[in-house]
Amino acid sequence: MTMSTKLPSIRRQLITRLMTLLVLTVVMTFIATRQVAFSSLQQAQDQSLSAVAQVVADSLVMSDGRVDFTLPYPAFEVLAYQGPEALFYRVVGPASETLAGYADLPVLESNSETLVYRDVEVRVFQIEKRIRNDRPPVKVLIAQTQDELNKTVTSIASRAAFGLVGIFCLVAALVFAALQSGLRPLRHIERALSERQDDDFSSLEFDAPAEVTGLVNTLNRSLEKHRQLLDRSRAFIAEATHQIKTPIASLAAEADLLAQEAPAPVKSEIAQLAIHARQTSRLAEQLLTRAALRYREGLQHRKRQPIAPLLDSVAAGFEPLAEEKDVAITVISEPKNCVFDAVTLREALVCLLDNALKASPNLGDIQLHAATQPGGLEISVIDQGPGFAADLPPGTGLGLELVRGVAEAHGGSFTHSHREGRTCCTLYLPQ
Amino acid sequence: MNILIVEDGDSLRGSLTKHFQNAGHVVDSAKDLSSARQIWRLKSDSFDLVVLDINLPDGSGLDFLRVARQPDAEVGVLVLTARSQVSDKVHLLDLGADDYMTKPFEFPELDARVRSIQRRRLKKPVGLDRLPPFEYDAAQVTFWHQGEQVPLRLKEAQLLSALAQAANHQCTKAQLIDRLYSAEQAVTDNALEVHIARLRQKLKPYGASIKAVRGVGYRYDYVD
């Protein structure tokens, strides 16, 4: 029985969670880094802009009733360090007239502001200087584009994010390695369980890490319970057989002895008593054998092994009885190694040979024949008996059912036919 | 024959004892493992056969089987088992039982199996007759080849001895039939032919053969 996997694998779950975490962290880091970098770079830009504006403002003088000033070009050099940004300026006189620079650069309400000017984003810094107390102050505006600043900020944030991805990959590798080694004991258990024989219920013995000890102990307790159950079931079958069959055996044996000594009128009746006792016992035997075999069916005992020794040993068991009837049992085994369960196949063959010997005439021949057929192994028991009548002798039906059960447990079939004075019972076992 | 019966069922033990005694054997019987061991200690050498039950009140008959099957013991062991524990049967033979029967059995089957064990567990023959390529033990009607018993059924051994010992290795059908069957048994030539055919098959590996002699009967042939 194979259990379908309903839950995604631990590895996949881990990957999904790690990826989600990675994406969230990278996005958050990117945003946070960007903000910090932007605010600090803008602060620096503001200071430069303010310094330049201050220099311009310092040069403002009143000359002949007019505002006069010089543009301090060296001061602009300071701004050049910010990168190839475009620079704008405007000096606004007391009467709001543009004294110099770009007349469309808007006057600010506050000291500094970021606004869109000529379709690009610019940072504007504005200071005021009162040259004469009776006149409104002169305003100096210095503006600079922010392209490079934005690029720098993005680059800093990207580098931070990439660094994080690198660290994350390292952590992920460590987590997977830990997972791999954490799952190793489970694979060990899986292998230990799958490699053992089906009726091996011995405890799992290996050094497990503390986390897996509980699982191993639980498995071992379960195995032990199954073993006890199996032993009880075996003991029950053995005991039940013994309890049923011993008194029947006594009954049959006593009836036999009594029949030898009894006067003629009751002799045949006593002999009948013995026959009935044996039929009862045979039924009990077959029921119990079938119970024992059915129990084995659940287990996989089939293995590749030589077939000839099994056939020889089954035939040898019948030799003393066959000699009494002058019946020859011939074993012909063509295939060498075949896949079968020796215990159940032996029971099936014993049953077939028992039927064959009972049905055989004196001096008859019985063949026990194993042959290779396309896709399988065919074992036939051929005798010179009359075949199976519609009303089978007591016990035969159950016996044939047992044989059929064994064939089907092997995934095969059982057939019998009677032709030209020969009865042929055939087991087909796919290979 | 001296037989030890180990069986816990009183009635079955009684029936077995009576059956073997009626057939002229000397029988000792034990109802459990400890009395079987006691008897065995006193006279293990004298037994030819042990009929052994497996389920005994004070233990398993298998334990006694191990004792009886010690290498120097020449005793035959027939196990009686009521068990349907399917793998037991293989196990019993592995442990050295000569044969087993499941209860209940019929006395004719018991006798057949006992005879078969006796023929297989024969005492090493002394004073063998040379009947090339075999040696013949007339007392036990068995043939031997290079120290190994030739696996012949009793009737086949009787046929072979008749032919091999006859003048010119030749017998008539009537002579052979007389050798195999008692006067009151109705026998046909066909029965003889069947036995001859089977014997021929078994002689093949040894290079010996039986030829039909027209108008006479059969002749045994072996060319060294």
Taking an 8 Å cut-off on Cβ atoms, the answer to whether B104 and A238 are in contact is no
pTM summary value: 0.60
What would the mean pLDDT of A251-264 be, rounded to a whole number? Answer: 83
Quote the percentage of chain B above a pLDDT of 70: 92
Within this chain, do residues A237 and A261 fall inside the same structural domain, yes or no? yes
The pLDDT, as a whole number, for residue A12 is: 87
The pLDDT, as a whole number, for residue A383 is: 93
In-domain check, residue A309: yes
Cα B33 to chain center, whole Å? 26
- The token pair at A365 is 């021949």
* A109 three-class SS: coil
A65 vs A366, more confident? A366
Question: H or E segment at A320?
Answer: helix A308-324
Label residues A28-62 b or e (16+ Cβ within 10 Å = b).
Answer: ebbeebbeebbeebbeebeebbbebbbbbbeebee
Which of B120, B150, B169 delimits the end of a domain? B120
Structural domain boundaries, residue B194: 129-222
Within this chain, do residues B155 and B191 fall inside the same structural domain, yes or no? yes
Is pLDDT above 80 for B84?
no
Where does the pLDDT of residue A377 fall: very low under 50, low under 70, confident under 90, or very high at 90 and above?
A: very high
What would the mean pLDDT of B79-97 be, rounded to a whole number? Answer: 68
Is pLDDT above 90 for A409?
no
The pLDDT, as a whole number, for residue B37 is: 93
Residues 6+ apart with CB under 8 A from A111: A125, A126, A127
Where does the pLDDT of residue A424 fall: very low under 50, low under 70, confident under 90, or very high at 90 and above?
A: very high
Q: Are B80 and B100 in contact (CB under 8 A)?
A: yes
Please give the C-alpha separations between residue A423 and each of A34, A232, A353, A427, B198, in angstroms, as whole numbers: 95, 41, 12, 13, 21
- Structural domain total, chain A: 3
Which of B85, B101, B120 delimits the end of a domain? B120
Is B151 near chain A, with CB under 8 Å? no
Question: H or E segment at A145?
Answer: strand A138-145
- Angle subtended by helix axes A210-261 and B10-22, to nearest 10: 50
In-domain check, residue A130: yes
Structural domain boundaries, residue A260: 197-300
Contacts of A250 in chain B (CB under 8 A): 9, 11-12, 15, 104
The pLDDT, as a whole number, for residue A294 is: 66
Interface of B with A in 154-193 (CB under 8 A): 154-155, 190-191
- What does chain B look like in DSSP terms, one character per residue? -EEEEE-S-HHHHHHHHHHHHHTT-EEEEESSHHHHHHHHHHHGGG-SEEEEESEETTEEHHHHHHHHT-TT---EEEEEE----TTHHHHHHHTT-SEEEESS--HHHHHHHHHHHHHHTPPPP-S-EEETTEEEETTTTEEEETTEE----HHHHHHHHHHHHSGGGEEEHHHHHHHHS-TTS---HHHHHHHHHHHHHHHGGGTEEEEEETTTEEEEEE--
The pLDDT, as a whole number, for residue A186 is: 86
Within this chain, do residues B109 and B179 fall inside the same structural domain, yes or no? no
Rounded to the nearest integer, the mean pLDDT of chain A is 85
Within this chain, do residues B158 and B48 fall inside the same structural domain, yes or no? no
Interface of A with B in 351-380 (CB under 8 A): 362-363
Cα B41 to chain center, whole Å? 26
Q: Can you tell me the distance from the alpha carbon of B80 to that of A300, in angstroms, rounded to the nearest whole number? A: 30
* pLDDT 10s digits, A62-94: 877 777 877 777 777 766 655 677 888 899 988
Task: Report the CATH number at residue A73.
Answer: 3.30.450
The pLDDT, as a whole number, for residue A36 is: 94
What would the mean pLDDT of B192-209 be, rounded to a whole number? Answer: 93
The pLDDT, as a whole number, for residue A230 is: 79
Q: Can you tell me the distance from the alpha carbon of B78 to that of B121, in angstroms, rounded to the nearest whole number? A: 12
Q: Can you tell me the distance from the alpha carbon of B122 to that of B142, in angstroms, rounded to the nearest whole number? A: 9
Within this chain, do residues B55 and B152 fall inside the same structural domain, yes or no? no
The pLDDT, as a whole number, for residue B21 is: 94
* pLDDT 10s digits, A151-180: 889 999 999 999 989 998 999 899 889 888
Within this chain, do residues A131 and A80 fall inside the same structural domain, yes or no? yes
Q: Which of B12, B89, B113 sits opposite A246 (nearest CB)?
A: B12
Q: Can you tell me the distance from the alpha carbon of B168 to that of A111, in angstroms, rounded to the nearest whole number? A: 147
Is pLDDT above 60 for B88?
no
- Structural domain total, chain B: 2
In-domain check, residue A165: no
Which of A238, A269, A300 delimits the end of a domain? A300
In-domain check, residue A354: yes
Within this chain, do residues A141 and A18 fall inside the same structural domain, yes or no? yes
A240 vs B197, more confident? B197
Q: Are A281 and A252 in contact (CB under 8 A)?
A: yes
* pLDDT 10s digits, A341-364: 888 898 899 889 988 998 899 999
Within this chain, do residues A326 and A203 fall inside the same structural domain, yes or no? no
Q: Can you tell me the distance from the alpha carbon of A424 to that of A404, in angstroms, rounded to the nearest whole number? A: 14
Within this chain, do residues A334 and A420 fall inside the same structural domain, yes or no? yes
The pLDDT, as a whole number, for residue B90 is: 60
Task: Report the CATH number at residue A314.
Answer: 3.30.565.10
Where does the pLDDT of residue A37 fall: very low under 50, low under 70, confident under 90, or very high at 90 and above?
A: very high
- Whether the ipTM is more than 0.95: the answer is no
Find tokens 């524990």 and name the residue.
Answer: B85
Where does the pLDDT of residue A4 fall: very low under 50, low under 70, confident under 90, or very high at 90 and above?
A: low
In chain A, whose CA is at the least distance from the CA of B94? A313
Within this chain, do residues A18 and A114 fall inside the same structural domain, yes or no? yes
In-domain check, residue A393: yes
* A216 three-class SS: helix
Within this chain, do residues A222 and A151 fall inside the same structural domain, yes or no? no
Where does the pLDDT of residue A398 fall: very low under 50, low under 70, confident under 90, or very high at 90 and above?
A: low
Within this chain, do residues A362 and A378 fall inside the same structural domain, yes or no? yes
Within this chain, do residues B29 and B116 fall inside the same structural domain, yes or no? yes
Taking an 8 Å cut-off on Cβ atoms, the answer to whether A254 and B15 are in contact is yes
Label residues B8-18 b or e (16+ Cβ within 10 Å = b).
Answer: bbeebbbbbbb
Where does the pLDDT of residue A299 fall: very low under 50, low under 70, confident under 90, or very high at 90 and above?
A: low
